[in-house]
Copies of this chain bind each other. A is one copy, B any other.
Amino acid sequence: MEIETKPNFKFINSMWENDYYSIHDKMYIATDCIIFGFDEGVLKLLIFKRKVQPDEGKFSLIGSFVKLNESVSSAANRVLEETTGLKNVFMQELKTYNAVDRDLGFRCISIGQYALIRIEDYDKDLVEKYGAMWYTFDELPDLVLDHNLMVKDAIARLRRKARYQPIGFELLPEKFTLPQLQSLYEAIYQREMDSRNFRKKVLSFGVLIKLEEKDKTSSKKGAFYYKFDNKKYNELLSKGINFEV
């Protein structure tokens, strides 16, 4: 380990393990996760408060260095599991953050990845242990380094992506209702939608399966549950069909 050659970066000692092979005295490769969650009609972001120097007490995205023997997405999935208990989360590469001076004194390229979490699923204990928490998207505190920019880029990507891929389903439980789906899209796009037009559109894709069961938690009448027909979706995708909502 070349840690000794960088006395002003002792802080990362605590984060390092001997098998973080990407840590050397030249260039560092990391990944940061922009983790969105959707809960009670609002879009949230998973961030944590740094417990070590520098920037102790400041808020940060959850990230990790990339090990020599893992892919970038493995690294992100690893840290995500450590933080939330969730495995195999849907995750997409956002872009690299590679400005020469983006980190404090050493060269580090970070590959941003955004993830969409079903908030109900995550392991509360693990999240608390790690010091991570869900923040309402509109009320985010300031983040370290270029993490604010990452969040800005990620929400822009999410909005665009949601227009041609049914990405939003990843944010909802396996079974979801149309009102839930609509409120998710409203949260992503930050605007209200007409329920009749929304239903018409979303059902017209033919990738939703209506279930017998109803969700009665939010109304007396109850709303039918739907689930996503992955097989049908992949068929349509391969034919080049657009899923713009």
Contact = CB atoms under 8 A, between A and B. Distances in A.
Nearest to A72: B98
A181 interface: no
Interface string A183-225: 0000000000000000000000000000000000000000000
Contacts of A22: 26-27
Contact of A71 (B95, B98, B164): B98
Contact of A72 (B26, B70, B109): B109
Interface string A64-105: 001011111100000000000000000001011011100000
A51 interface: no
Interface residues of A, number: 24
Number of chain copies forming the complex: 2
A241 to B, nearest CB: 14
Contact of A100 (B70, B95, B99): B70
A156 B117 CA distance: 27
A188 to B, nearest CB: 15
A228 to B, nearest CB: 22
A68 B99 contact: no
A160 B27 CA distance: 33
B26 A68 contact: yes
14 contacts: A21-B27, A22-B27, A27-B27, A27-B66, A27-B68, A29-B109, A68-B100, A69-B107, A70-B100, A71-B100, A72-B98, A93-B95, A96-B111, A98-B111
Interface of A: 21-22, 24, 26-27, 29, 66, 68-73, 93, 95-96, 98-100, 107, 109, 111, 160, 164
CB-based closest 8 A-B pairs: A72-B98, A24-B26, A22-B27, A71-B98, A68-B107, A93-B95, A24-B24, A21-B26
Given A26-B26, A27-B68, A29-B29, 10 more contacts: A21-B27, A22-B26, A24-B26, A29-B109, A66-B98, A66-B109, A68-B100, A73-B98, A96-B96, A96-B111
